[in-house]
Structure 1
Amino acid sequence: MTKKQSNSRPSIPVLVKTQLWTSSAGRCQFEGCNKPLWRHGATMNQMNISYIAHIYAYSPNGPRYDEVLSPKLEIDFSNLMLVCDECHRLIDDKKREDEFSAIRLIQMKKDHEERIELLTGISPDKKSHIVLFGAKVGTHDTPLSYNRVREAVIPNYFPAEYKTIDLGMHNTLFEDDKEIFWEIQRENLNNQFSEKLKYLEENSPHHHYSIFALAPQPLLIQLGTLLNDIYPAEVYQLHREPSTWKWLDETELIKFRLVAPDKITKKVALKFELSATITDDRIESVLGEDTSIWSIKIDSPSNDFLRTRNQLMEFRKLMRYAFDEIKAKHGQDTVLNIFPSMPVATAVELGRVWMPKADMGMLIYDQNSKRKGFVKTIEIKPN
């Protein structure tokens, strides 16, 4: 039998209120809300719009009332959540007590506080500039969202700014079956990169970049050559299942193989059979039968095979070996014709691995359905 509660409800101490604000970072702790509680949502005026909700209600008629825990935890930090007005109404709705049980609210509070602790515990040298590059693929513009991609960099890095560096060209009328598309897109990418990333590299104290790109593969390779190894960067891949930019915690190894041609000729091609298979006749229809065709492939090509950082690292290693092997067989002055069928991140890394002073020049082709085959797009010349 518990003591009868006093009619006088104890006030929450200032120290407990302060602890609630600091542990929640001043944001609503209800799952999925995260609303800032220090400003008005429309006017942005500074004000306190927070409410303190009880997990175990103080009143016997309140939601989740417990004869033992309610009086014991009335002013205890563990029983209190900092929330917005809307979420406070949900939590205090007696009719929804089963939906918002004490166990569920305790988990919400725990998850929110652990996330804030994780984010605020990241050292200042882990700030990274988020770089977006989108270009029309066929007739479809590319959607890239800051809110979606920023989650991928945490906890290894966190955004250096509340905005992205956007290198893309939006709402262009030209499609990738036209030569002018490649000319305009490449010039825009070069100009945007020079104006934005080169400026940051010279003026920002934070020199790390998180790269999120969705564009035709020749432009992705071009972006990689601009980044090279000069810009400390991590390149991300959009996965289909699950739909996320985060690198996944999986252990499957992917064996990348470099397959040499049967004949060595003056004309040389390198095809990437990672997302799909490319038969030699498709390349020979463009370059002729007197072509040495090298291949980088995996056992089961798929458009969603690239899942982990380690897989991308293995690709980089083989790519460096492939450039050296092909140059040794054909000479540095030979142009390497590139036929890519590969994930976004590998296309960017191909460009990053390429060394402008040591490697062969590249002529990059792209599969185009309107022109029924591979078409010449971008030439990347060595220094």
Structure 2
Amino acid sequence: MEGWEQGKADNLRLFKQYVERINRGKYDVAKVYAISPRPLLIHLGKLLSGTVPLTVYQYDREAGLWVNKALNASMLEELMPTSSFTDRESKELIVTISISDTITDEDVHTILGGERDQYDIIIKNPHVKRLLYFEQVQQIKNFFNDEVEALQRQKRYNLIHLLYSGPAGLAIELGRSINQNMWPEVAVHEFKYREILRYQRTFKIQLFIFQSRSQSLFRV
């Protein structure tokens, strides 16, 4: 836990520097090149959500370059996302997002048991190369944002657990989707493919109040 808290502190320092430069009028847009453990990218995305427009780049390992939008429609492999919801009349919600690999019921039950509500998002044939471009990121981000907010309005959860297997750029956008006015705290879990226990809880993303022009940061 100490390492994760240090990572969150590093994110916060980066965020403060970022905001100071924006408030001085130096920049009105930002570019993010995402390489970091996924929980920390989700946390960073939450911090960045209320500032200037972002362009998030992902690294294409095969081409050896950073990419954002696809050059043409033929580059966009159809993701075909589907979702399912299991209502266990709980005040906590587990959200699984299977993009790079499938998050199984066994993964969930091993660390969280089977007593919580569960909402699963999965694309056709999850694989590490399946989602790369901005258009695909936005499709899954909107799917996640719309459906989870609808569940939160209906059920009023006290805590949301997020289990995510996917690329770095989408992790940033998932963090940006966490709604300050509607969501409870979010417990983020790290995915490790080769571990026997494939998911491990890292930290909670708490709601924070931030006033960009006065540079007042009250909670993270």
Q: Is TM > 0.5 for Structure 1 vs Structure 2? A: yes
Task: Give the secondary-structure state (helix, strand or coil) at the position aligned to 1:245.
Answer: strand
The alignment's C-alpha RMSD in Å is 1.9
Pair 1:224 & 2:49 matched: no
Within the candidate set 272, 284, 294, 2:119 is matched to 294
C-alpha displacement at 1:319, in angstroms? 2.1
Greater relative contact order (Cα < 8 A, sep 6+): 2
Q: Which residue number in structure 2 is paired with residue 356 of structure 1?
A: 180
Q: TM-score, normalised by structure 2?
A: 0.84
Which position in structure 2 is the counterpart of 1:81? Answer: none
Residues 1:186 and 2:8 aligned together: yes
Q: Which runs of 5+ in 2 are unaligned?
A: 209-220
Deviation at 1:323, TM superposition (A): 2.3
Identity of aligned residues (%): 21
Which one has the largest radius of gyration? 1
1:269–1:293 CA contact under 8 A, matched in 2: yes
Matched, 1:246 2:71: no
Residue 93 of structure 1 corresponds to which residue in structure 2?
none
Paired position in structure 2 for 1:283: 108
Distance 1:326 1:320 in 2: 10
Once superposed, which parts of structure 1, at least 4 consecutive aligned residues long, lie more than 6 Å away?
A: none
Q: What secondary structure sits across from 1:269 in the alignment?
A: strand
Q: How does 1:1-383 map to 2 (within 5 A)?
A: 179-194=1-16, 196-247=17-68, 248-251=70-73, 252=76, 253-261=78-86, 263-332=88-157, 334-368=158-192, 369=194, 372-383=197-208
Using a 3 Å threshold, how does the CA distance of structure 1 residues 376 and 211 change in structure 2: closer, same or farther?
same
* Cα separation, partners in 2 of 1:188 and 1:308, compared to 1, 3 Å: closer
- Contact 2:99 2:122 (C-alpha < 8 Å) held by counterparts: yes
Cα deviations by residue, 1:207-247 (Å, 9 ceiling, x for unpaired): 11010011111000001001104221111111122222123
Q: CA deviation at 1:197?
A: 0.4
Asked if the contact 1:268–1:337 (Cα under 8 Å) also holds between the matched residues in 2, the reply is: yes
Whole-angstrom CA distance in 2 between matches of 1:280 and 1:325: 23
For the structure 1 residues 258 and 229, does the alpha-carbon distance in structure 2 shift closer, same or farther, using more than 3 Å as the test? farther
Choose between structure 1 and 2: higher strand proportion. Answer: 2
Answer yes or no: is the 8 Å Cα contact 2:152–2:182 preserved in 1.
no
CA distance in 2, matches of 1:300, 1:229: 34
Unpaired runs of 5+ in structure 1?
A: 1-178
8 Å CA contact 1:269–1:292 kept in 2: the answer is yes
- Residues 345 and 207 (structure 1), Cα distance of their counterparts in 2 relative to 1, 3 Å cut: same
User: Any conservation in 2 of the 1:212–1:235 contact (CA below 8 Å)?
Assistant: yes
- 2:10 counterpart letter in structure 1: N
Aligned length: 203
- Please state whether the residue corresponding to 1:348 is helix, strand or coil: helix
Q: Conserved in 1, the CA contact under 8 Å of 2:91 and 2:156?
A: no
281 and 264 in structure 1: CA distance in 2 versus 1, 3 angstrom threshold: farther
Structure 1 residues 352 and 293: CA distance shift in structure 2, 3 A: same
The one-letter code matched in structure 2 to 1:322 is E
Task: Give the Cα separation in 1 of the matches to 2:198 and 2:27.
Answer: 43
| Contact kept? 1:323, 1:359, Cα under 8 Å | no
Q: 1:204 is paired with a residue of what secondary structure?
A: coil
